[in-house]
Amino acid sequence: MKMTFRWYGPDDPVTLDNIRQIPGMTGVVTAVYSVPVGEVWPEEEILKLKAQVEAKGLEMEVIESVPVHEDIKLRRGNYQQYIENYKENIRRLAKAGVKCICYNFMPVFDWTRSQLDRELPDGSNALVYYKEHVAQMDPTKLALPGWDSSYSTEEMAELIQAYKDLGEEGLWENLAYFINEIMPTAIEFDVNMGIHPDDPPWSIFGIPRIITCEENIDRFLGLYDDKHHGLTLCSGSLGCATFNNYAEMVKKYAAMGRIHFAHVRNVKILEDGSFEESAHYSPCGSLDIVEILKAYHDAGFEGYLRPDHGRMIWGETGKPGYGLYDRALGAMYMTGIWETLDKLDK
């Protein structure tokens, strides 16, 4: 297992100097954020980013993410050119030493929360998803960090309707087309492609979502028979649904060698199926982090892992879910669990 940390580039208030001081941290997970979705990343920007990371003694072997343009997901407009651009990004990243690319196929919204700074009983602030509040939202007017904010209200309404018209099976067909287009390039350049599950793993605003459960992940992996075609398995996404047994999914897919990147965070599931993001420590949420890491460890997992979203604690402000302190605590908690598992094996 290689412990990594999400870093949003030079403008991130969490610096590389901060990250490298976390014991056991091997590298960062990052991206070129200045290029519009669908376009080719300039080689000089990739290499500049790599040089900044390596100058601090860290690795840049994982990119999260290379976004998939909506035209590809809908298979309309300039989708074929965007796919060619995507292949070129795989080539360029591979030449820069990148070994794993995280991406998702979520329509319109990469992730959804009803509040970014909900105050928890201990005084910390966290991302939350309250179903009652989401049901009252107008999706054409939403804006959350990381989303594409270039759409007008009218364009957003049209995009949402296009996905409703496409439906789940149409989205599966378009995903299969995309996978069959890009995987030969990924295999040629030895880059592992890890799809991120839908977050949360159910339909929102009537828009189809398909990377949601074990049955659908099995179908996804069946789209292309090669180990480079795999998963970014996220405990916070899949684990917030009571219909998923996340630890069992780790055992299954890690044994198959199809988990390339692991996101680990804890969530507290509420009675109505809503959830709050919590501290990584198991008793703080609904997931057993020790059980999850043991599943990875027992499978001999050698891929990349990162502490996923953290709360804002100790007065810290910054990008919601991506402060330094709570994620660093999570990294050390998981590193300690892993060290213990290593020693128990001896």
Quick check: is 309 catalytic? yes
Alpha-carbon gap, residue 339 to 346, rounded angstroms: 11
Active-site hit among 228, 229, 260, 263: 263
Quick check: is 165 catalytic? no
Active-site hit among 69, 86, 163, 196: 196
Quick check: is 260 catalytic? no
Residue 194 has a CB neighbour count (10 Å cut-off) of 28
Are the beta carbons of 50 and 96 closer than 8 angstroms?
Answer: yes
Active-site hit among 8, 103, 322, 325: 322
Alpha-carbon gap, residue 14 to 322, rounded angstroms: 8
Quick check: is 308 catalytic? yes
In Å, how far from its chain's centre is CA 258?
15
Quick check: is 253 catalytic? no
Active-site hit among 234, 260, 325, 333: 234
Quick check: is 69 catalytic? no
Active-site hit among 12, 198, 199, 308: 308
Residue 119 pairs with which residues in a beta bridge?
125
Alpha-carbon gap, residue 57 to 5, rounded angstroms: 13
Are the beta carbons of 315 and 140 closer than 8 angstroms?
Answer: no
Active-site hit among 309, 325, 326, 333: 309
Which residues are catalytically annotated? Answer: 196, 234, 263, 308-309, 322
